[in-house]
Amino acid sequence: MSITVKTVSVSDSKSIIQLKSLWIEAFGDNENATEAFFERVFYCADVFAAFDGSTVASALYLLRTELNGKKAYYLCGAATLKKYRKRGIMSCLIEYALSAAKEKGYEYLLLLPADESLYSYYARFGFKRKCRAAKIMLSRQELLDISNGKGKEHLLAMMRDFINGQDSLIYDNKAVSLAAAYYREFGTCVVSNEDSLAFFEENGEVCSVIFFKCRDFAKLSLLLLNHSQCNSFEFVIPGNRKIGGSNVFEYGMIKPLNNKTPLPDNSFIGLTFE
């Protein structure tokens, strides 16, 4: 077995067919969700694959983002065909991707391990457990108060910190469009207007807001109230502080690609494909 690692371009149709098959085998997505991902991923990410001859054995995707004004990648979709696993192929692919990212001038690489056991695996490559998130629950009345400019100051201050983007990955419109198309295939609601955007799922009386972008949290609150009749709204936000009943938990890893670049004590990934 002779493994070759390289970047896959949007024009490489034969490899893309294999990438789709690998994605379905590894993640169990249906064809519509897989097509939604691959229709857009090449326009907002760099795609790397390990080949055994002409066969795609393993692949990963580096989504282009920004962290504190510096170029950053979010690594997702790392997978290996079952018959090629436990041969060190993914390790070679990750090392190649890290080298390529550094050569392109990227400062950080972040990822969200699929399960707890993978945190130790990625630690071998220098990834640090310095990413956290928090969940906070707001009542419908609290959102209504915020939309009317009467929200509690500590809630507004918390959301202002998030909106400002400090220590949070910033995704461009192409990446958000990719995520919206992909998430919709799993029943996630995607709502937006000129000021705000939100991805949410409803479970009984709870509206879980899994991702949002806005310039004004009051306007986002109104958008959610207009599209969901739930009595409670759960938000995933940066876990850099505990406010009220916030539930802070580990939410990914980060690796600095330049020793001169300061590593944030806590980074927030936000949008994921896990």
| Closest residue by Cα to residue 38 from 74, 4, 58, 8 | 8
Q: What does the pLDDT look like over 8-28, one tens digit per residue?
A: 999 999 999 999 999 999 999
Residue range 132-250, CATH number: 3.40.630
pLDDT over 90, % of the chain: 75
Whether residue 66 contacts residue 72, with contact meaning beta carbons closer than 8 Å, is answered with yes
Predicted model pTM:
0.93
Q: Which two tokens stand for residue 199?
A: 């991805």
Q: With a cut of 60, say whether residue 245 has pLDDT above it.
A: no
Residues 81, 96: Cα–Cα separation, whole Å: 18
Whether residue 209 contacts residue 198, with contact meaning beta carbons closer than 8 Å, is answered with yes
Q: With a cut of 90, say whether residue 58 has pLDDT above it.
A: yes
CATH number 3.30.43.10 is the correct assignment for the domain at 3-130+252-256: no
Q: With a cut of 70, say whether residue 240 has pLDDT above it.
A: no
Phi/psi for 14 (5° steps) reads: -65, -40
Chain-centre distance for alpha carbon 14: 27
Q: With a cut of 50, say whether residue 244 has pLDDT above it.
A: no
Residues 2, 104: Cα–Cα separation, whole Å: 27
> Which position has the token pair 């937006």?
192
Whether residue 236 contacts residue 198, with contact meaning beta carbons closer than 8 Å, is answered with no
Q: What is the mean pLDDT of the chain?
A: 91
- Which residues fall within 8 angstroms of residue 120, CB to CB, at 6 or more apart? none
Q: What does the pLDDT look like over 129-186, one tens digit per residue?
A: 999 998 889 999 999 999 988 876 666 666 666 666 788 999 999 999 999 999 999 9
pLDDT at 261: 83
The pLDDT of 232-242, averaged and rounded, is: 81
Same CATH fold assignment for domains 3-130+252-256 and 132-250? yes
Work out whether strand 206-214 and strand 232-238 pair parallel, antiparallel, or are unpaired: parallel
> Which position has the token pair 């400062």?
107
Phi/psi for 186 (5° steps) reads: -105, 15
Q: With a cut of 80, say whether residue 242 has pLDDT above it.
A: no
Can you give the chain as a three-state secondary structure string?
A: CCEEEEEECCCCHHHHHHHHHHHHHHHCCCHHHHHHHHHHHHHCEEEEEEEECCEEEEEEEEEEEEECCEEEEEEEEEEECHHHCCCCHHHHHHHHHHHHHHHCCCCEEEECCCCCHHHHHHHCCCCECCEEEEEEEEEHHHHHHHHCCCCCHHHHHHHHHHHHCCCEEEECHHHHHHHHHHHHCCCCEEEECCCEEEEEEEECCEEEEEEEEECCHHHHHHHHHHHCCCCEEEEEEECCCCCCCCEEEECCEEEECCCCCCCCCCEECCCCCC
Domain residue limits, the chain: 3-130+252-256, 132-250
Q: Which two tokens stand for residue 262?
A: 């300061």
Q: With a cut of 70, say whether residue 266 has pLDDT above it.
A: yes
